[in-house]
Amino acid sequence: MAIFVTGATGLVGGHVVNYLLQQTDILVNSADEIICLVRNPSKATELKQLGVKMIHGDLSNIPILNKIFNDYSIKYVFHIAACVSVYASFEEMFQTNVIGTKNLLEAFSRSSARSFIHTSSIIVYDHHHLRKRNTIVKFTESSPIGPKQRGKDIPYAVSKRIGEDLVVEFAKRYPDKSFLITRLGPIIGKGDRQMIPSLVKAFALPLPKLINKGLGQISLTAPLDVARAQVFLVKNGNSYSGQAFNIAKERWNFRQLFNVVAEYYNRPPPKISIPLWLFRLFKPFLHLIKIIWSKSEFIQTLLSSSALEYMEYSYEYDAQKLKNLGFQFTTDIKNCILKGLQAYDPEKLMVSKRIKRKEIN
Ligand SMILES: NC(=O)c1ccc[n+]([C@@H]2O[C@H](COP(=O)([O-])OP(=O)(O)OC[C@H]3O[C@@H](n4cnc5c(N)ncnc54)[C@H](OP(=O)(O)O)[C@@H]3O)[C@@H](O)[C@H]2O)c1
Ligand 1 surroundings by CB, under 6 angstroms:
6-7, 9-13, 37, 39-40, 43, 58-59, 80-84, 96, 100, 119, 121, 184, 186-187, 193
CA distance 160 to 72: 28
Q: Which amino acid is at 213?
A: K
Residue 134 CA, ligand 1 centroid: distance in Å: 32
Q: pLDDT tens digit string along 13-42? A: 999 999 999 999 999 999 999 999 999 999
Task: Say whether pLDDT at 60 is over 80.
Answer: yes
* Alpha-helical regions (H) of the chain: 11-22, 45-50, 62-71, 90-94, 101-110, 127-130, 155-173, 195-204, 223-236, 254-264, 276-292, 297-302, 305-312, 320-324, 333-344, 349-360
Atom number in ligand 1 closest to CA 221: 3
Q: pLDDT tens digit string along 184-232? A: 999 999 988 888 998 998 899 888 889 888 888 889 999 999 999 999 9
Let me know if 51 is exposed, middle or buried by CB neighbors in 10 A (0-12, 13-18, 19+).
Answer: exposed
How many folded domains does the chain comprise?
Answer: 1
Q: pLDDT tens digit string along 164-173? A: 999 999 999 9
User: pLDDT band at residue 361, thresholds of 50, 70 and 90?
Assistant: very low
Q: Is residue 266 part of a domain?
A: no
Contact criterion met (CB below 8 Å) for 161 and 146: yes
| Dihedral in degrees, nearest 10, Cα atoms 347, 350, 355, 360 | 70
Residue 309 CA, ligand 1 centroid: distance in Å: 21
Q: Whose CA is nearest to atom 36 of ligand 1?
A: 7
Distance of CA 154 to the CA centre of its chain: 16
Contact criterion met (CB below 8 Å) for 73 and 112: yes
Mutation pick for ligand 1 pocket among 11, 59, 188, 344 (CB with most ligand atoms within 8 Å): 11
Nearest one of 282, 271, 250, 251 to 203, comparing CA atoms:
271
State residue 359's pLDDT score: 46
| Dihedral in degrees, nearest 10, Cα atoms 184, 185, 191, 195 | 160
Residues in contact with 253: Cβ distance below 8 Å, sequence separation at least 6, in sequence order: 214, 215, 216, 217, 218, 314
Atom number in ligand 1 closest to CA 60: 31
Let me know if 156 is exposed, middle or buried by CB neighbors in 10 A (0-12, 13-18, 19+).
Answer: buried
Lowest model confidence (mean pLDDT) among 86-90, 98-102, 138-142 = 86-90
CA distance 205 to 202: 5
Q: Is residue 46 part of a domain?
A: yes
Q: Mean pLDDT in the chain?
A: 92
Torsional class of 191: left (φ above 0), alpha (ψ -120 to 50), beta (otherwise)? left
Nearest one of 238, 247, 219 to 319, comparing CA atoms:
247
Atom number in ligand 1 closest to CA 79: 45
Q: Is residue 6 part of a domain?
A: yes
Mutation pick for ligand 1 pocket among 79, 80, 103 (CB with most ligand atoms within 8 Å): 80
Q: pLDDT tens digit string along 221-265? A: 999 999 999 999 999 999 999 999 999 999 999 999 999 999 999
pTM, to two decimals: 0.93
- Determine phi and psi for 161, rounding to 5 degrees: -65, -45
Atom number in ligand 1 closest to CA 84: 20
CA distance 254 to 207: 15
CA distance 81 to 166: 15
Contact criterion met (CB below 8 Å) for 252 and 220: yes
**Secondary structure class of 184 (helix, strand, coil):** strand
Residue 77 belongs to domain with CATH number: 3.40.50.720
Atom number in ligand 1 closest to CA 58: 32
**Domain range holding 126?**
2-188+221-249+316-331
Q: Is residue 214 part of a domain?
A: no
Q: Whose CA is nearest to atom 15 of ligand 1?
A: 11
Q: Which amino acid is at 62?
A: I
Q: What single DSSP character describes residue 94?
A: H
CA distance 216 to 311: 5
Q: Is residue 285 part of a domain?
A: no
Q: Is residue 179 part of a domain?
A: yes
CA distance 196 to 243: 31
Residue 266 CA, ligand 1 centroid: distance in Å: 32
Let me know if 324 is exposed, middle or buried by CB neighbors in 10 A (0-12, 13-18, 19+).
Answer: exposed
Mutation pick for ligand 1 pocket among 42, 91, 102, 184 (CB with most ligand atoms within 8 Å): 184
Q: Is residue 215 part of a domain?
A: no
State residue 352's pLDDT score: 66
**Secondary structure class of 244 (helix, strand, coil):** strand
Through-space distance between the first and last CA atoms of the chain, rounded to whole angstroms:
63
Q: Is residue 342 part of a domain?
A: no
Nearest one of 341, 209, 355, 213 to 270, comparing CA atoms:
209
State residue 193's pLDDT score: 84
Residue 6 CA, ligand 1 centroid: distance in Å: 9
